[in-house]
Amino acid sequence: MLLTDHYVSFNCQAIETGLGYGEWLHGEAVAAGTVMAADMSYRLGWIDESIKKRTFDILDQAKLPVTPPKGMTVEKFRNIMAVDKKVADGLLRLILLKGPLGGCVFTGEYDRKALDETLRAFCDN
């Protein structure tokens, strides 16, 4: 996966902001966000299940968080993401995986249903 320091995973800043900075290390938030990005990318049909599973397995084996912390609800995630630095012209852009292992895109062009499904799968309701 190619993730840069400026655009990291599936909105790790939402996790850090939702918890209050200092509760989780930045890398822990990136890990959970990366798993969420892999899940959403799979839901969009942009990667196959083996990449989604490999992403989860690697981060889990490294003993990094693979889900957001307790207390991160879908609504809380959405509210924080709405004011994220990656929002431009009212459109949230995400870093998602696309194509073979290692490929990623920074895009606002994705099915919002996949975002909803991922948030519901990973967040407290």
12-122 maps to which CATH number? 1.20.1090.10
Alpha carbon distance 4, 12 (integer Å): 12
Q: What's this model's pTM, rounded to 2 decimal places? A: 0.81
* pLDDT above 60 (res 125): yes
The pLDDT value recorded for residue 4 is 38
Q: Could you tell me the two tokens for 77?
A: 């995630």
The pLDDT value recorded for residue 2 is 39
Tokens 């292992």, residue located: 101
